[in-house]
């Protein structure tokens, strides 16, 4: 209940209370409150009676849910009976897979003493009754009852009865005043779809780098080394035959060196070809 109204600065209605609440534990499990008497300590101009039979909320890995049930409810404002009911319930269910659901029920629901039927998610039912308020002429209290049953992809909400109250009247023959009084909610349940577990990422194996070929050693390993000519040192003497011998030896060296170069060149040509 969240009700408050004043006339000429003087409070005439005050009621602020929550009777029965349950919140599912964050780590999973169920929270429940049961068998609570409906009373409003410190209320002004408001009376209430009845029992909160049970309020419960559950959080699980694959579903969450909540429900509320009240019985023998009687709410009076400014000495007038506004709402009466034998049983009022609200329940929601939020599976991780599948449709979310929201349901409400009423047994013996009355507004200002008249039976009413509420249809979910419509403007509801409105009625009013004359009341006596000091300083207010022609005072009247009106109430609109609505019912909520909504679901989304992520959750569900069920409000069995939501009453919006308004006080009207005039002060000392002045214009008609409309004073918002507040709201009363009878049996509400809300749940959210559990989140799916986040899969563990598989570490990516590094791709091995290709092995680069080893550079061949400088030079051609198949090429034989060039032959080294070892010159024959001349022998010194004083006879004339020694000069001819020296000339022949030098010629032989020249021929030998030329032949060696030709042989080496042919060998290279053969290998390279």
Instruction: Measure the CA dihedral 243/244/250/255, to 10°.
Output: 170
pLDDT for 62 equals 96
CA distance 209 to 196: 38
CA distance 128 to 142: 4
Backbone torsion region of residue 150, taken as left when φ is above 0, otherwise alpha when ψ lies between -120 and 50, otherwise beta: beta
Say what the pTM is. Answer: 0.71
Query: Which residues lie closer than 8 Å to 190 by C-beta, 6 or more apart?
Result: 66, 92, 155, 156, 157, 158
Render pLDDT for 88-110 as a digit per residue (tens, 0 to 9). Answer: 999 999 999 999 999 999 999 99
CA distance 273 to 250: 34
Geometric angle at alpha carbon 146, from 85 and 72, rounded to 5°:
10
- Nearest by Cα to 145 from 120, 124, 171, 130: 124
pLDDT higher than 50, residue 29: yes
pLDDT for 195 equals 85
Geometric angle at alpha carbon 11, from 178 and 124, rounded to 5°:
40
Sign of CA dihedral 182, 111, 39, 56: negative
Render pLDDT for 178-231 as a digit per residue (tens, 0 to 9). Answer: 999 999 999 999 999 998 765 555 555 555 555 555 555 455 544 555 544 443
Render pLDDT for 127-147 as a digit per residue (tens, 0 to 9). Answer: 999 999 998 999 999 999 999
Q: How far is CA 43 from CA 12, 115, 264, in A?
A: 10, 27, 123
Backbone torsion region of residue 260, taken as left when φ is above 0, otherwise alpha when ψ lies between -120 and 50, otherwise beta: alpha
Residues 249-253: what's their mean pLDDT? 42
Quickly tell me which residue has 């032949």 as its tokens: 259
């Amino acid at each position: 209940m969240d009700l408050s109204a004043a006339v000429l600065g003087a409070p005439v209605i005050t009621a602020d209370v929550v009777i029965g609440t349950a919140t599912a534990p964050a780590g999973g499990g169920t929270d429940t409150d049961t068998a609570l008497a409906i009373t409003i300590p410190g209320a002004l101009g408001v009376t209430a009676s009845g029992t909160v039979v049970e309020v419960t909320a559950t959080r699980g890995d694959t579903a969450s849910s909540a429900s509320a049930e009240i019985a023998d409810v009687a709410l009076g404002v400014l000495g007038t009976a506004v709402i009466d009911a034998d049983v009022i319930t609200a329940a929601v269910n939020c599976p991780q897979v599948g449709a979310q659901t929201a349901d409400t029920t009423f047994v013996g629901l009355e507004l200002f003493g008249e039976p009413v039927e509420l249809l979910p998610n419509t403007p509801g039912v409105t009625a009013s009754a004359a009341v006596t308020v000091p300083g207010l002429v022609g005072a009247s209290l009106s109430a609109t009852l609505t019912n909520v049953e909504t679901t989304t992809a992520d959750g569900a909400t069920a409000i069995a009865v939501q009453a919006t109250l308004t006080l009207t009247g005039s002060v000392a023959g002045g214009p008609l005043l409309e004073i918002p009084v507040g709201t009363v909610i009878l049996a509400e349940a809300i749940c959210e779809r559990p989140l799916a577990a986040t899969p563990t990422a598989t570490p990516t194996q590094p791709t091995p780098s290709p092995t680069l070929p080893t550079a061949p050693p400088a030079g051609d390993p198949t090429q034989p080394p060039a032959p080294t000519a070892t010159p024959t040192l001349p022998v010194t003497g004083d006879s004339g035959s020694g000069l001819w011998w020296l000339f022949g030896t030098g010629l032989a060296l020249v021929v030998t060196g030329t032949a060696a170069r030709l042989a080496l060149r042919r060998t290279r040509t053969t290998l390279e070809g």
